[in-house]
Amino acid sequence: NQVKFPEGTAVKKEVVQQTLKESKKLDGVFITHNETGTGVLNDLFTLAPLIKNHPDKPLLLVDSISALGAVDLPMDRLKIDVLITASQKAWMASPGLSMIAVSKEAWTRHLTSSMPRYYFDLSLYEKFNQKNQTPATPAVSVLFSLKTALKITKKQGRERIFKKHLELRDYFRGQIRKIGLKLVVNDKEASPTVTSIWPPKGVDEAFWRKLLREKYNIVIAGGMGGLKGKIIRVAHMGYVSKKDLDQVVTALKKSLNEL
């Protein structure tokens, strides 16, 4: 059973409550923490308790690939059972690693599951982990880059990092408004790691991004899904500063006169 919401809007508490009320034999609930395609952050502090209080005691599985590391998400306190992230987003490392945290309850269910698997067999990884090995050749270079990123994270401190991402989000959104552009997501639901922007009326976003890349050396993303070809997206996660965002804003402002 899949519950969808309009692109650019967060998951609504009331809809989740009603869906849970109507759901029987519920084994698990999957939810995206941070919607990268539009720049929406879902409020798991509100949603997680609703899910975990369901009489079927479903597992809560969270995709926080583009938020964890930049956003506070206490797994144990929220009773999240499976939490997934990746090296290339807020963790500041190269692409190539998936990091998965599993609760005791989720691990117990994993051990009794009859679903065929190999690549996603956590028991296999646990077995090799006891020997300080991996089942197949690991992404060694990415592990070293992640180690360096984690040292930076430890030195700066998590609370400081969380605060920095909120400040960058608010600063960038303010600068975008100052140059006359409109934001896709409202302030309350806006992601601390990525911001989506509406191009001016009549502007081809693909041409705009091409201009930014070729003339200003600024690479930004386009839309996805139903918003493909309709929006642009700017990431501000990990090793990013106000100076970096100022360069983006300056390029956006100058390029508007060339469209």
Provide the mean pLDDT of the chain.
96
Lowest pLDDT segment from 110-114, 196-200, 210-214 = 110-114
The whole-number average pLDDT for the span 68-88 is: 98
Residue showing tokens 């601390």: 192
Q: Are 197 and 224 in contact (CB under 8 A)?
A: no
Please tell me the distance from the alpha carbon of residue 40 to that of residue 4, in angstroms, as a whole number: 14
What pLDDT sits at residue 120?
Answer: 82
- Tokens read off for 42: 């879902």
- pLDDT tens figures, 177-190: 999 999 999 999 99
The pLDDT of residue 119 is above 80: no
When pLDDT is averaged across residues 168-176 and rounded to a whole number, the result is 99
Domains of the chain, first to last: 13-156 (3.40.640.10), 158-256 (3.90.1150.10)
The whole-angstrom separation of Cα 97 and Cα 241 is 24
Residue 224 has pLDDT above 90, yes or no: yes
Give, in order, the Cα–Cα distances in Å from 21 to each of 49, 51, 54, 55.
Answer: 14, 10, 8, 10
Instruction: Identify the band that residue 118 occupies on the pLDDT scale cut at 50, 70 and 90.
Output: confident
Classify residue 33 as exposed, middle or buried by CB count within 10 Å of its CB (0-12, 13-18, 19+): buried
pTM of the model: 0.94
